[in-house]
Structure 1
Amino acid sequence: MRNKAIQVKGLQKSYKQLHVLKGVDFDVEAGSIFALLGSNGAGKTTLVKILTTLLKPDDGTAIVNGFDVVEETDKVRKSISLTGQFAAVDEILTGRENLTMIAKLRHLNNPRQVADDLLNRFGLIDAANRSVSTYSGGMRRRLDIAMSLVGNPQIIFLDEPTTGLDPEARLEVWKVVQELTEQGTTVFLTTQYLEEAEQLADRIAILHEGKIIANGTLADLKNFSLLQRWSM
């Protein structure tokens, strides 16, 4: 059996009178793709912020790579990476310069080689010396994910990574995500799109009004009535 990369139990979070997370429980297996499916306002981003130590929960526990997100924030941060809804790349720099800069910030040996390895892996080597401002949406997102993998984090969090992308660019990102687990990376993906969760995830959890209302493989959830309504 795989080890648990993430363990969440009884997680709660409120903003003043708004109760966003209402006792969330789930586990994520190491080396898998886990999709958190939910509409806008369901609490997906709040949950990701807690798991990545950007926000403290009001109650409950979250263990990431064996470390408590509240008590061992530095250890959690060293073993994860987060890619938000919009590509965090410098458009003035080239693709190679973006990656080299991150490698230097993380004090890695031979940052240029690190950059070139990732450019090759993500199919961007031919555009390595072009300004990112000339990249398509799909290329920018691929570069953004590549930057998140500098230093080989054990877990990568992708918060709605295909938001705003056209269908072709979405397919590009899907291919990249599927390839991540081949390298042993655990992927935690949030999405509003059922099709995306179906295509990518080993397990899917549905977050609705702050609670997990379903959690399992796609086969497990096929007969779940709320999943059927989601796809309508």
Structure 2
Amino acid sequence: MILVEKLVPPIKTENLTKIYKLGGKEVRAVDGVNLEVPKRSIFGLLGRNGAGKSTLIHMLMGTILPTSGRGTVLGYDIVKESLKIREKVGFMPEGLGFYEDLTAEQNLMAIAKLMGLKKPTESVRECLKLVGLWEYRQRKYGEMSVGMKQRLGIAQALLKDPELLVLDEPTSGVDPDGAREFRRLIQELNKQGKTIFISTHLLYEIGPLFTHIAVMRQGKIVVQGSVSDLKEKLMAGQGYVYEVELSKPAQVIIDRMCSLNGVKEAILEGNKLVVLCSKPLAPTLLSLLEGYGVESFRLAKPTLEDIFREFSG
């Protein structure tokens, strides 16, 4: 008998909404969010502070009730089965609740026993080793660096060996070394088959990790999809930018470029030529540039930061 794995998205929402009443006015912290997170993805929930990311995450984890709409996490309903979600999902909230005067090992042991793990000592040891804190297990939480504290937060989220990790602003305040260690850890966990859902507004630290993203603005998801697809869509909408290095630049190149159908603008600064086109024109441009000493020719693709700036407002 062949067992077929049920293809349930790790996270899925339909018109999920949270409305607060402040001073007689309604504030839509989360406004009709439709979200689907692919299995085994590293999914980035991006948005500026106040966009609604944390409220959305707490609804997914069942710690805040939605006003309307529905959602499932690992197939469990976020309202009716929230306890099951918290049992199954590894969650690292933005504010870590560890005891300052307990060691890393003591903090994790306390949590493991509260969870009712069958082998708490073994689980704690494995998680501390996985996040690179085993040699610091006797260090008190209050004496740890920000990066070490964040790694301890991930360790507690891993105690149940979950298939889904939800991390809220995990690199806030982390130095470059800590961010680098975080990226290494997340990549390793993803290779193990885990789906990882991360909210952040700090793209330069962990942006390269993401396979998929959604951008939130004023409580709404304004764009979502795979990073590669979104880059292609942005490039198609904004145009194709070619960057050329020339050993024999000449101002006449500008006129020749701008006479082509599909060229929107051409800029020559020193030996660097930038050509903005409304459609792919690489072969035509290279043909026209013969004799000007083309040393390099590249299509400048949009970055994750470009997508964020375009849609986050």
TM-score (norm. length: structure 1): 0.92
1:79 match? 88
> Does the residue aligned with 1:118 lie in a helix, a strand or coil?
helix
Task: Calculate percent identity across the aligned residue pairs.
Answer: 37
1:136 match? 145
Which of the residues 189, 207, 212 maps onto 1:203? 212
The C-alpha deviation readout for 1:173-223, integer Å capped at 9, x for no partner, is 222222222232221110112334531111011111121111112122224
Residues 130, 229 of structure 1: alpha-carbon distance in 2 compared, 3 angstrom cutoff: closer
Q: State the distance in 2 between where 1:25 and 1:34 align.
A: 15
Aligned length: 232
Of the two, which has the highest radius of gyration?
2
2:74 match? 65
> Does the residue aligned with 1:4 lie in a helix, a strand or coil?
coil
Letter in 2 for 1:119: L
Correspondence list, 1:14-163, <5 A = 14-16=19-21, 17-163=26-172
Consecutive unaligned residues in structure 2, runs of 5 or more: 239-303
Q: State the distance in 2 between where 1:13 and 1:23 align.
A: 8
Q: State the distance in 1 between where 2:43 and 2:187 align.
A: 11
> Does the residue aligned with 1:36 lie in a helix, a strand or coil?
strand
Across the aligned residues of Structure 1 and Structure 2, the Cα RMSD in angstroms comes to 2.1
Instruction: Indicate if the aligned counterparts of 1:35 and 1:197 stay in contact, CA closer than 8 A.
Output: no
Deviation at 1:77, TM superposition (A): 1.7
- Higher RCO, 1 vs 2 (CA within 8 Å, ≥6 residues apart): 1
1:10 match? 15
Letter in 1 for 2:11: I
TM-score (norm. length: structure 2): 0.69
Q: State the distance in 1 between where 2:225 and 2:58 align.
A: 23
Letter in 2 for 1:33: I
Deviation at 1:161, TM superposition (A): 0.7
Q: State the distance in 2 between where 1:136 and 1:198 align.
A: 22
Q: State the distance in 2 between where 1:231 and 1:56 align.
A: 31
Instruction: Indicate if the aligned counterparts of 1:156 and 1:185 stay in contact, CA closer than 8 A.
Output: yes
The C-alpha deviation readout for 1:26-81, integer Å capped at 9, x for no partner, is 11122221111000111101100100001111111101111111121222221113
Deviation at 1:128, TM superposition (A): 1.4
